[in-house]
Structure formats: C-alpha cells, structure tokens
Amino acid sequence: MPPAPKIIGVVVRRENPAAVTFARTLVARLGSRGVTVLVEPEQADLAGARTVEKTAMVAQADLIISLGGDGTLLSVARLSATPELRVLGVNLGALGFLTEVTMDDALAATDRVFAGEYRLDHRTTLAVRVRRGDEIVAESQVLNDAVINKSALARILDLTASVDGEYLCVYKADGLIVATPTGSTAYSLSAGGPVVAPSVGVILLAPICPHTLTQRPLVLSDSAVVRVELAARDSGIALTLDGQEGVPLVTGDVIEVEKSPHGVALVRTGPRSALTVLREKLHWGER
C-alpha cells in the first residue's frame, strides 16, 4: 500500500461559498489524522492550517485537494514542478471533467486515500515559452491548452508553424490551439478537434475558424516541438494559458510548445474510468 500523505494542500475556490464552508470541515478532518494542512494566505481563518503561497504549497505537499471546478484544478496543475503532482479534485462546479468527486463523497474519498484505496490517472502537461528576439519573455505550462487568439477588432492572423524544425504551414485563421489529450475535450473540441483518450501521447493543433477548408486539426507525437511565429501586425493578440492567464503578443514573437517533464496525477477513488466520464459528460448514445 502506498504511504499515506503527510502534507496536504487545500486549494479553495474562494468565490464559491459552499467550497469555503466545506474547507473548514475538511481541514478539521485532516487535522484529526495528524496531517500538516497547507492553505493559501486568503484562507488564514481556517483553524489548524498553515498558510503558504500556492506555488510553495504545490512544491511541499504530498497531495493537493482542489475544492471548486475544473478551473480550480487547472490553476494548481500549471504550478506542478515535479514529475507527478498528485491532485484530488472535488467538483463544486458545473462540468467536472477533471474533478469527479462530489462534495457529498469528498470526506469518504479522503478516507480511501489514507487507506490506499485509489489509483492514479496520469496526465501530461505542455511547457510553453514566448520568445521575443533572444529573450524569453514568458514561460509556463498547461494541462489543457495554449491558445493564440485575437481581439474582436484584429484581422485574420498569419501564424507560421513548424514541427521539430520542419516548416508546416502558415495558418490563416482567427487563432490556433495547441492542446494536450486532456484538453481535447476543451476549446479544441469546439474548434473541430478530435476527442483523445488521456493516456495517448499526443499534441493537438487545431486552427480556430481557418480561412481555408484545407487546414484541419492535426495530431502530433508528444515528442514533437511546436514552434509558431506571429506574423500579424495587429494589436490585441494574446497567448491564453488554460483559459486563465493571458500573455500579450507582438509581431515577431515565437511561441514554443513541447511536452513538459512536470506531470499531473489525478487521484481517482471511485470506479469511473475516463471513458465513463466522456460518455456521461458528452451524452454519447443519447437522443
């Protein structure tokens, strides 16, 4: 049986009153087990927990419990600096592709973790860098996707793409999505990209509203290095990370994307598989 976690970080979606209320119960339950509980400074009123910034929490904790929706979990995953950050997602949002544990089952799910009754659902992340000349002006990682997109007033973008140093094409489109298998059910799906099982090692390229029917979504090996240069001369163009962080772009910027060495392991305590989640959330087979 794997060792029980000794340090647990609790990340709370503070805008959700139910999440804040439940966090008090959860922290008390964990404290009764002698576990060191870490929370963000904004949750300093949680008795029995130690406050640290989220980046430090992710670096120190054996397990992160995310209380919110998929977005809350994504905000944690982007901070992973280990080969396998373990996250138990409690779904207090609307969709819950990643956070499958309900609040009603959350305390029982944590008990199952301490009993070793869980499995790990391994997910890859993508390392993303923005080069401006010889300087890296931004870098991060994503669990879902990195999206180059434009404001409402910007013109069609010209995005020169290459893979492993080989020229691919110039995407003439409203934008371009570079996604993980996890992100295949997010923005990429809306852009016509394929649904990919999370365990498959691929990187997805999906143009947004391409201005030619010949430019279709592309599936690459996850060993590929994708390079996209922004040739457009408009302002209001940005790189969006997991739909949560934005990096303003200028003409000539180069976005580099490749598989990150920092992965995420979603802690699963129930019987539902990734295929079950897809069938239920996407309503496959229903009329």
| Residue 163 tokens, joined | 């893979």
The owner of tokens 């430090």 is 56
| Residue 244 tokens, joined | 């949560």
Contact 139/129 with Cβ under 8 angstroms? yes
Residues facing 10 on adjacent strands: 39, 65
Contact 130/140 with Cβ under 8 angstroms? no
Contact 215/191 with Cβ under 8 angstroms? no
| Coil/strand/helix, residue 204 | strand
Neighbour tally for 235: CB within 10 Å: 13
**Is 70 among the residues known to form the active site?**
yes
Residues facing 266 on adjacent strands: 87, 121
Residue type, 268: R
Catalytic residue among 70, 145, 242, 253: 70
d(CA 216, CA 30): 49
E-state strands within 54-213: 63-68, 84-91, 101-102, 119-123, 126-132, 135-142, 145-150, 157-163, 166-173, 175-179, 202-208
Catalytic center residues: 70
